[in-house]
A and B are shown apart, each in its own frame.
Chain A
Amino acid sequence: MGDIIVENLSKDYVLKTGFIKQLRGKAETVSAVNDVSLVINEGEVLGLVGESGCGKTTLGKMLVKIESASSGTIMIGDKNIVNIRRKELFDFRKDVQMIFQDPYDSLDPKMTVYDIVAEPLRYLKLAKNSEDMIEKIYEMLRLVELSPPEQYVNRYPHRLSGGQRQRVAIARALIVNPKFVVADEPVSMLDVSIRAGILNLLQKLNRENGISILLITHDLATARFLSHRIAVMYLGKIVELISSNKLMEMAVHPYTKLLLSSAPDLFADTSNRIEIKGEAASATAPPKGCRFSPRCNYAIASCFEKEPELTEIEKDHFVACNRVFERE
């Protein structure tokens, strides 16, 4: 399938405003994702990290085409999937799948595990006959460690634990043999003791089956554990893109550093943390200039005017900060 190349991708939402305002054409828009460009390499896990409302989930949903893009392109191979045709969408679904955050809401309560996992096969007509379908489903359930499958196929979601539900959701995403999977906070709703199993499973799928993954998470430690590279988002923009093994030592963007220093961690030294400035900004009225400027400890006058570009400061390390060269 090749790399996934995202260029200048934006998503604007029209806010529900008053009837009169709409009539006067003054509907407010919120830009959830603003001019994002990035590449997800074949066989790579890319971690997309940011706080709630930063647009990371919207970006993920645009990549699987359940949210339409306002502008920009998403190239997969030689196809731009932003304006893909209905017929091609069918083939696209065989290659690109998604794992959702909330396993308590992502499985239809009226369907059995078998029917849930069979659904993509039925829709995309990927099973030769019913024996083939049964075989594929059993094999997949074994792969996500729900074995013996006989024990699970006839159960309804309410009779599964959170971890088991998420495994069913992963099985549904993987049964079509996708080449790229968007995993939106796959463990955040699960109990701590269950998370490791899901994360190890995703790692195995990437390493052994070569599936590319976009891992959307608010937790830098999870992203660092699973991803090759990490993209940090703030208010709809990517502010830093860095390989995971360099994250701790080489990250330079003040926001990345604030996140690193704020994340609760048993093994962290909390004595000299970066100071927190201001209150979290809202996506509906993003600050002028650099969006992080009001909260930035290094902001100078120009930061409030000029929006920084994402620039490569060393190989595979991109930063969007006006003062990145100065400060070094």
Chain B
Amino acid sequence: MRRLKIFITNKQTIIGLCILSVLLVFAIFAPVISPGDPLFSKGAPIQRPNKEHIFGTDNMGRDVWAMIVWGSRISMVFAFGAAGISLIIGVVLGALSGYIGGVFDDIMSRIFEVFYIIPRTFLIILMVAIFGSSVTLMVIIVGATIWPSNAKIMRAQVLTLKSRTYVQAAEVAGGKRLSILFRHVVPNGIGPVLSNSTLQMAQAVLTEASLSFLGLGDPSVASWGKILQAGQSHISSAPWLVIIPGIVIALMLLAFNLLGTALQMTLNIKQQLIE
């Protein structure tokens, strides 16, 4: 509880959480904050920010504010969806690999490395070309390609934790190997993986933005990358089309990074407190 207090009272945590909660409110209450379809034209194209459209409109007359609000939804889905998938795959495979050891560990480690070097963007472009661009598919692909770093961290954690006495004690208490792994080893070693996950959330948001920017995003949803794409050919005449989504994306990445650093710091303090 002392650790939680340290984490919560950390300046970085507070700033990170503030930014994220605003974006989360946008994502959840988008229909209330900005009713109507954000992809619908709301007036003349390329309007400067004004009273009616506080962030202006893009080349098709769509309200940028509405796209920002609705776009936070898609960014959140990517952040939590992809990082979540990556967390589950990474923790399970990394933990098993480190715990079972031997030849299994050798094989798994090579698999982690293969996944490391898969060119993600290329793979996604390929999949989008084959299956069409749907949010679900892209979240799954991103999640299923970024997990190796989680797996490697988890594996390293398990390697140091599995020789701890309380693991042997659980064995003497009658625990089966798998339940010991997930009851004693993983909970004690997952901290650094979680801190890596916040960075992966940032990574997923960025991936989504770049895909939309390249025009590979799901055409039926509003996203920040899409505003950027619309803005790129009007960058001199309508710079707000690039600056505004750029700032929002940067803020979200900043928030995740702040949380990640704060989490890591708290975990290090924890070790000092125990010793």
Contact B173 A100 (CB under 8 A): no
Cross-chain pair count, CB within 8 angstroms: 56
CA of A119 to CA of B172, assembled, Å: 10
CA of A120 to CA of B169, assembled, Å: 10
Which interface class (under 10, 10 to 19, 20 to 34, 35 or more) fits A? 20 to 34
Contacting residues, chain B, for A102 (C-beta < 8 A): 165
Max chain A CB contacts within 10 Å: which of B165, B168, B171, B174?
A: B174
- Find residues 83-121 in chain A having any chain B CB closer than 8 Å to their own CB: 90, 93-94, 97-98, 100-102, 105-110, 119-120
Contacting residues, chain B, for A107 (C-beta < 8 A): 166, 169
Q: Is A172 an interface residue (CB 8 A)?
A: yes
Number of interface residues of B (CB under 8 A): 18
Contact A106 B173 (CB under 8 A): no
Q: Is B156 an interface residue (CB 8 A)?
A: no
Contacting residues, chain A, for B108 (C-beta < 8 A): none
Q: Is A46 an interface residue (CB 8 A)?
A: no
Contact B168 A100 (CB under 8 A): yes
Q: Is A285 an interface residue (CB 8 A)?
A: no
Q: Which of A66, A110, A173 contacts B188 (CB 8 A)?
A: A110
Q: Is B132 an interface residue (CB 8 A)?
A: no
Q: How far is the CB of A31 from chain B (nearest CB, A)?
A: 21
Q: Is B11 an interface residue (CB 8 A)?
A: no
Q: How far is the CB of A114 from chain B (nearest CB, A)?
A: 14
Contacting residues, chain A, for B169 (C-beta < 8 A): 98, 100, 106-107, 169, 172
CA of A109 to CA of B169, assembled, Å: 13
Contacting residues, chain B, for A59 (C-beta < 8 A): none
Contacting residues, chain B, for A172 (C-beta < 8 A): 169, 173
CA of A106 to CA of B173, assembled, Å: 12
Q: Is B187 an interface residue (CB 8 A)?
A: yes
Q: How far is the CB of B161 from chain A (nearest CB, A)?
A: 10
Q: How far is the CB of A145 from chain B (nearest CB, A)?
A: 20
Contact A120 B173 (CB under 8 A): yes
Q: Which of A90, A98, A109, A158 contacts B172 (CB 8 A)?
A: A98
Q: How far is the CB of A118 from chain B (nearest CB, A)?
A: 10
Q: How would residues 58 to 101 of chain A score, 1 for a CB under 8 Å from any chain B CB and 0 otherwise?
A: 00010010100000000000000000000000100110011011
Taking A94-B174, A105-B166, A158-B274 as known contacts, 8 extra A-B pairs with beta carbons closer than 8 A to each other, sorted by chain A number, are A61-B168, A66-B172, A90-B174, A106-B165, A106-B169, A110-B184, A110-B187, A124-B173
In the assembled complex, 12 residue pairs joining A and B whose CB atoms fall closer than 8 Å, in A order, are A93-B172, A97-B172, A98-B169, A105-B164, A105-B165, A106-B169, A109-B166, A110-B187, A119-B170, A123-B175, A123-B179, A172-B169
Which residues of chain B have a CB within 8 Å of any CB of chain A? 164-166, 168-176, 179, 184, 187-188, 273-274
